[in-house]
């Protein structure tokens, strides 16, 4: 397998589809039904991270091609690049650096997940990204990862404020659930989405906020489609007992893992479709910002719900603003084409807007506390 051959036409038997990332047409080419299905499941419902399916688009901004190969073919590709190009490094994700090889008309990047020894490659040429990866479950995920990376780069370039946050929807408005790792963001957001009337769950870990151009000011919240990661302790707090019957794509954590501990590192991972199917909640990709909830989920703590002080809210939000220090995305190694650029709103401007909205802090430790929180939350935001 040679580098120059990969910059040409599509592989035999490939299917192509078109996605609209905000208003950027993206062409997807793959020979793998599994990879294509994972893209569909990840960016569901339409609008997750601003990604929707669209009809054939002439002149897409970028084509992402997904090719499978055996390990020998992938290593042959990387060896050729190493012998004919300038070697360097790039940051795939924050602090995870891998080799890159810069030729005159192409760059080859080594792809390797931080938790796996399986090696893949990506060839970047003008207007095209070609992934060459093994025929495996992990290999199928690379196409989705690249599409998500492209969509994130476009959103951030166009001025999204990115927060370490979960979110749920109530009465048509998005409520950010912001907190440090382990605070119980996901548990709180899903639990309220299950209990509140006409509610919905938006997403896990990352939320994009864009200033609304209409006369109402404020922000629109868009979910980033990362899997919901929960452990058995979180399911217990939500009162979920039938999880053993679930058939989930990622599978359950293996025997001997610590997923049954409330603060265990090993977690069950659910796509947005699986959240809808197994937890019985509506999934909403975007909604106008209506308020903020700052949670603490602690099995030993008592129940509480009260307005947050501005100082506490500012401290938590600044600490969890990915626009200031993104712990996932490093450099823009894909050189994603962007039609317009804008600076994100400052954290100070965002905090000033929050002064007009409900900002609450809560503590829960049991399923009965979560029920109290649902009732108390409705009373608090109704005032």
Q: What's the pLDDT tens digit per position in 297-322?
A: 887 888 999 999 999 999 999 999 99
**Per-residue model confidence (pLDDT) at position 7:** 67
Q: Report CA-CA distances (Å) from 209 to 28, 104, 140.
A: 26, 38, 29
Find the mean pLDDT for residues 269-275: 94
Find the mean pLDDT for residues 138-150: 96
Q: Which of 2-6, 78-82, 129-133, 235-239 has the lowest mean pLDDT?
A: 2-6
When pLDDT is cut at 50, 70 and 90, the band that residue 327 belongs to is: confident
CA distance 383 to 368: 24
Indicate if the pLDDT at residue 333 is higher than 70: yes
Global pTM value? 0.93
**Per-residue model confidence (pLDDT) at position 357:** 96
Token pair 């007992």 is found at 241
108-143 per-position pLDDT tens digit: 999 999 989 999 999 999 999 999 999 999 999 999
Most confidently modeled range among 27-41, 258-272, 313-327: 27-41
DSSP-assigned letters across all residues of 199-221: -EEEESSEEEEEE--STT-SEEE
Indicate if the pLDDT at residue 383 is higher than 80: no
What percent of the chain is predicted at pLDDT more than 90? 77
Higher-pLDDT residue of 324 and 184 is: 184
The residues, any chain, with a CB within 8 Å of residue 31's CB and separated by 6 or more, are 11, 13, 14, 15, 66, 67, 68
- How remote is the C-alpha of 27 from its chain's centroid? 20
When pLDDT is cut at 50, 70 and 90, the band that residue 216 belongs to is: low
**Per-residue model confidence (pLDDT) at position 300:** 82
Q: Which of 39, 58, 14 is nearest to 151 (CA)?
A: 39
CA distance 145 to 151: 10
- How remote is the C-alpha of 208 from its chain's centroid? 10
């Amino acid at each position: 397998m040679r580098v120059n051959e990969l910059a040409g036409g599509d592989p035999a038997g490939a299917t192509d589809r078109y996605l609209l990332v905000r208003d950027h047409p993206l062409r997807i080419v793959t020979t793998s039904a599994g990879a294509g299905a994972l893209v569909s499941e990840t960016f569901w419902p339409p609008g997750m991270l601003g990604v929707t399916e669209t009809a054939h688009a002439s002149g897409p901004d970028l084509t992402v091609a997904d090719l499978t190969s055996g390990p020998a073919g992938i290593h042959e590709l990387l060896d050729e690049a190493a012998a004919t190009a300038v070697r360097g490094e790039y940051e795939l994700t924050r602090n995870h650096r891998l080799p890159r090889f810069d030729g005159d008309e192409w760059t080859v990047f080594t792809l390797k997940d931080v938790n796996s020894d399986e090696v893949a490659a990506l060839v970047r040429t003008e207007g095209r990204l070609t992934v060459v990866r093994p025929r495996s479950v992990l290999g199928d995920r690379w196409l989705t990862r690249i599409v998500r990376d492209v969509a994130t780069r476009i959103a951030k370039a166009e001025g999204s404020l990115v927060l370490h946050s979960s979110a749920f929807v109530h009465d048509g408005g998005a409520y950010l659930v912001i907190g440090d790792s382990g605070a119980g963001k996901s548990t709180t957001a899903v639990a309220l989405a299950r209990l509140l009337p006409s509610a919905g769950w938006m997403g896990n870990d990352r939320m994009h906020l864009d200033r609304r151009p209409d006369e109402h000011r404020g922000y629109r919240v868009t979910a980033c489609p990362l899997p919901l990661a929960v452990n058995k302790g979180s399911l217990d707090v939500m009162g979920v007992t039938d999880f053993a019957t679930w058939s989930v794509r990622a599978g359950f954590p293996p025997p001997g893992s610590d997923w049954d501990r409330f603060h265990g590192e090993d977690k069950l991972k659910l796509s947005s479709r699986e959240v809808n199917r197994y937890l019985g909640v509506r999934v909403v990709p975007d909604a106008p910002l209506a308020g903020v909830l700052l949670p603490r989920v602690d099995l030993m703590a008592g129940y509480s719900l009260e307005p947050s002080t501005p100082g506490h809210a500012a401290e938590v939000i600044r600490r969890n603003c990915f626009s200031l220090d993104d712990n996932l995305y490093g450099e823009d190694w894909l050189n994603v084409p962007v039609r317009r650029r804008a600076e994100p709103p400052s954290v100070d401007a965002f905090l000033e807007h929050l002064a007009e909205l409900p900002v609450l802090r809560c503590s829960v430790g049991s399923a009965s506390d979560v029920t109290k929180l649902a009732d108390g939350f409705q009373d608090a935001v109704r005032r």
